[in-house]
């Protein structure tokens, strides 16, 4: 355990990506099942492949600035995810990188600016908006929560993670009008959108880093990962 | 000469489409590059792969991209954003369907047409099919 972060450094962002990668891998079957219900069952493996590649890229070279980390992650996701999440998450991270150029670290307002740029990019790339049963249904409420979450980084990020999870859950009742799930139309109702689910996992991982809590413990599985992993760097 | 890049989730499909174009319009020299499928052999697209294909296909005269659907288009659009500023103005993504657009573009490029004309020819190819079949599928 370390102190809650008041800013996110390049190292913190790298820790976030490592935690997100581990959590996505842990939830691969769940993501696969969600995508099997309303897609082509590859979201779990796509996200795992993409984030594993991002971690490898960050392990290969220590990057000094937030924008360098975010850009490196973007390129890994763009090239390794394979499906629509590649360009979508990749564009999000590319825009976050562009919005953070020149900043040695990100405080709450800077993070808001970055996520705002990222979500705007995702909206432009996917030509989607909230309510269409996509990852935006987790990102948009998360961004709203981040904006109104106050000046304290850890608190704001926690609100964003909570909002992403609620947004994910709310996709259950939506009809898909975008992406592969849109081929199912009304039959997509009753299923959570896999992109919203992976978003919630990714933002919960960010909350773990911002709060100083370290990797998320999964009470259902009993064992948690080495508590020193990812939480030692300040 | 205008270059062409073929983007698809499937490397096999992209290569077969190129074979079709060269078979239907033989005897031409056209710079066609394929950016399709994942390196592990699976379906999918990779904007960095597309970017590299664009760079190979360009000899200064510009490049037209033909893409299949869905994330193929998204990856192509992402690749456009990653282009260096000098190259970007002469790279265009066609909204024509892949096979029809490719054959039209291939022929035009092989005849030495510029990017605008090659792009227009790709768009016309889709129209030709609609005209042939008429307003209702027969």
Structure confidence by residue, pLDDT tens digits, B62-111: 999 999 999 999 999 999 999 999 999 999 999 999 999 999 999 999 99
Query: pLDDT tens across B117-133, in order?
Result: 999 999 998 888 889 99
Token pair in block for residue B132? 């042939």
Is residue A181 within 8 A of residue A133, CB to CB? The reply is yes
| pLDDT at A113 > cutoff 70 | yes
Question: Number of A:B CB contacts under 8 A?
Answer: 51
Options B1, B4, B6, B9, the catalytic residue: B9
Give the C-alpha distances (Å, rounded to integers) separating A49 from A21, A90, B42: 9, 13, 12
| pLDDT at A218 > cutoff 70 | no
| pLDDT at A50 > cutoff 80 | yes
Token pair in block for residue A162? 């909570």
What lies within 8 Å, CB to CB, of A112 at 6+ separation is A143, A146, A147, A156
Position A213 scores a pLDDT of: 87
Give the C-alpha distances (Å, rounded to integers) separating A167 from A16, A95, B8, B77, B118: 21, 22, 32, 28, 45
Position A29 scores a pLDDT of: 95
| pLDDT at A215 > cutoff 70 | no
Task: Supply the pTM of this predicted model.
Answer: 0.92
Position A232 scores a pLDDT of: 40
Distance from CA of A37 to the nearest CA of B (A): 19
Query: pLDDT tens across A181-212, in order?
Result: 898 989 999 999 999 999 999 999 999 999 99
Average pLDDT of chain A?
A: 92
Question: How sure is the predictor about B136, in pLDDT bands with cuts at 50, 70 and 90?
Answer: confident
Position B138 scores a pLDDT of: 60
Query: pLDDT tens across A115-162, in order?
Result: 999 999 999 999 999 999 999 999 999 999 999 999 999 999 999 999
Q: CA-to-CA distance for B52 and B70, rounded, in angstroms?
A: 20
Average pLDDT of chain B?
A: 96
Position A179 scores a pLDDT of: 87
Of B48, B49, B78, the CB nearest to A91: B78
Task: Please tell me which residue of chain A has the smallest CA distance to B36.
Answer: A82
Of A80, A84, A94, the CB nearest to B74: A84
**Is B132 assigned a catalytic role?**
no
CA torsion B118-A121-A47-A86 (nearest 10°) is 10
Token pair in block for residue B18? 């190129």
Query: pLDDT tens across A71-105, in order?
Result: 999 999 999 999 999 999 999 999 999 999 999 99
Position A2 scores a pLDDT of: 81
Higher pLDDT, A168 or B134: A168
Averaged pLDDT for residues B35-53: 96
Write down the ipTM of this complex.
Answer: 0.94
Q: In 3-state terms, what secondary structure has residue B22?
A: helix
Residue positions counted in chain A: 234
CB < 8 Å to A46, chain B: 44
Higher pLDDT, A233 or B97: B97
């Amino acid at each position: 355990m370390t102190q809650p972060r008041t800013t996110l450094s390049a190292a913190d962002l790298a820790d976030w990506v490592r935690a997100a990668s581990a959590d996505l891998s842990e939830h691969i079957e769940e993501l696969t099942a969600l995508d099997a219900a309303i897609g082509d069952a590859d979201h779990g493996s796509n996200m795992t492949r993409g984030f594993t590649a991002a971690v490898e890229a960050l392990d290969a070279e220590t990057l000094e600035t937030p924008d360098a980390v975010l850009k490196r992650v973007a390129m890994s996701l763009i090239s390794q995810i394979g499906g629509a999440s590649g360009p979508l998450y990749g564009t999000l991270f590319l825009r976050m990188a562009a919005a953070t150029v020149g900043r040695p670290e990100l405080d709450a307002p800077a993070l808001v600016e970055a996520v705002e740029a990222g979500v705007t990019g995702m909206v432009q790339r996917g030509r989607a908006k909230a309510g269409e049963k996509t990852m935006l249904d987790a990102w948009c409420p998360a961004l709203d929560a981040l904006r109104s979450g106050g000046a304290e980084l850890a608190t704001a990020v926690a609100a964003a993670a909570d909002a992403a999870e609620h947004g994910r859950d709310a996709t259950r009742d939506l009809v898909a009008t975008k992406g592969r799930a849109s081929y199912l139309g009304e039959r997509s109702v009753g299923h959570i959108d896999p992109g919203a689910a992976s978003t919630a996992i990714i933002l919960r991982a960010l909350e773990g880093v911002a709060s100083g809590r370290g990797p998320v413990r999964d009470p259902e599985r009993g064992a948690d990962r080495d508590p020193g992993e990812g939480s030692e760097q300040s | 000469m205008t270059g062409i890049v073929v983007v698809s989730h499937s490397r096999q499909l992209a290569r077969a489409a190129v074979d079709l174009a060269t078979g239907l319009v033989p005897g031409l020299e056209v710079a066609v590059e394929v950016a399709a499928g994942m390196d592990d052999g699976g379906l999918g697209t990779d904007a960095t792969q597309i970017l590299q294909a664009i760079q190979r296909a360009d000899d200064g005269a510009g490049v037209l991209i033909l893409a299949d659907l869905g994330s193929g288009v998204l990856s192509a659009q992402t690749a456009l954003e990653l282009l260096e500023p000098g190259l970007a103005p002469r790279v265009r993504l066609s909204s024509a369907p892949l096979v029809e657009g490719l054959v039209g573009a291939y022929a035009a490029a092989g005849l030495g047409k510029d990017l605008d004309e090659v792009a227009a020819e790709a768009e016309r190819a889709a129209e030709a099919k609609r005209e042939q079949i008429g307003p209702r599928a027969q």
